[in-house]
Chains A and B, each alone.
Chain A
Amino acid sequence: MSKPKSRLEDVRNIELAAEMIRLGARTQVICYEIPAISVDKAISLCKEITGEGPAKGSLPFSTEWFLEFVPNIHSSLFLGIYRNCEKSSDHFSRAELLIAAYRLYIEWTKSAEIEADLSFTRAWMLVRNVTSGSLKAKKCETCSGHFIVDGFHHGKLETCNLCSIKQRTGPLACLNTNSEEGQFQDAWDN
């Protein structure tokens, strides 16, 4: 565990962790992104902010979730916001970028009256998976928006989920229902 060089850096790290907790980040995410925050510290911060202990159980590791119909749309939107944030700043850490992008995502969905489907932890998972290449964004040939596809997806993306929405019934209804978080969780096998 690397020790923070200065008190100010220590304060900054705690502030970042606190903001991540407010946005709903799991303890594991905080410890991974901010190595200076120990597990104990993250748990006590979580108790102090939310008034209860951190959520237990495994992290949602599955990449399949990002390819499902509604989650795919939300994750593509989030990645778009994240990349725009990344573009306008070259000196932010990933934790800062995640916080900024997630805040924008939440506010945007709220203003559009769409229920936010992506949790902070899932958003983090998405960025990690895209960085590692397990998932990637591909340009839809019909609308030229970038959508999340499997890392092994070869060839062109002919139609994205939103372009093919005509073939589905009740598109609005399916975007407003909030699918239960944790439904598709894989085992935390570490």
Chain B
Amino acid sequence: MKNALKLKATSHLDEIQKVNLNYIILVRRMIDDDIESALIQTGISRAMCERIAKMEISEMMKVASSPFLICSFNIEDASAIECKSDGRKGDRVQYLHNEIVRLSKRVA
């Protein structure tokens, strides 16, 4: 039996809704602060940002109550989330190296 749905799986609904709400509030705060920076850092389109900027709290809560996550990974290449570690390099150097690799893969 391949690709079978687990019958006992939880839906994580509660957590998803919390993340959704947190996400939309963060995006809204970033847009209110500076829409141009928000466009760069979130990767959301301008039209969408302008719509989010006009959202009321009740609307945000309705959107956030979806059983699906409203945000998705911004990283397309699966290998870009791999974090190699090499004991001989210091933590910070490793951190720096991983970030350079990740940034490079996002634009490649």
User: Which residues of A are at the interface with B, using a C-beta cutoff of 8 A?
Assistant: 73, 76-77, 80-81, 83-89, 92, 96, 100, 103-104, 108, 112-114, 137, 139, 143-147, 162-163, 165-166, 171-172, 175-176
B100 & A145 in contact (Cβ 8 Å cutoff) = yes
Give, as a whole number of angstroms, the nearest-CB distance from B11 to chain A. Answer: 32
B40 & A113 in contact (Cβ 8 Å cutoff) = no
How far is A84 from B95 in the complex, measured between Cα atoms in Å? 18
Give, as a whole number of angstroms, the nearest-CB distance from A109 to chain B. Answer: 9
| Total cross-chain contacts (CB, 8 A) | 89
Contact of B100 among A73, A87, A92 (CB under 8 A): A73
B84 & A166 in contact (Cβ 8 Å cutoff) = no
How far is A113 from B91 in the complex, measured between Cα atoms in Å? 11
Give, as a whole number of angstroms, the nearest-CB distance from A11 to chain B. Answer: 16
A112 & B100 in contact (Cβ 8 Å cutoff) = no
A73 & B96 in contact (Cβ 8 Å cutoff) = yes
How far is A103 from B38 in the complex, measured between Cα atoms in Å? 13
Contact of A84 among B89, B90, B97, B106 (CB under 8 A): B106
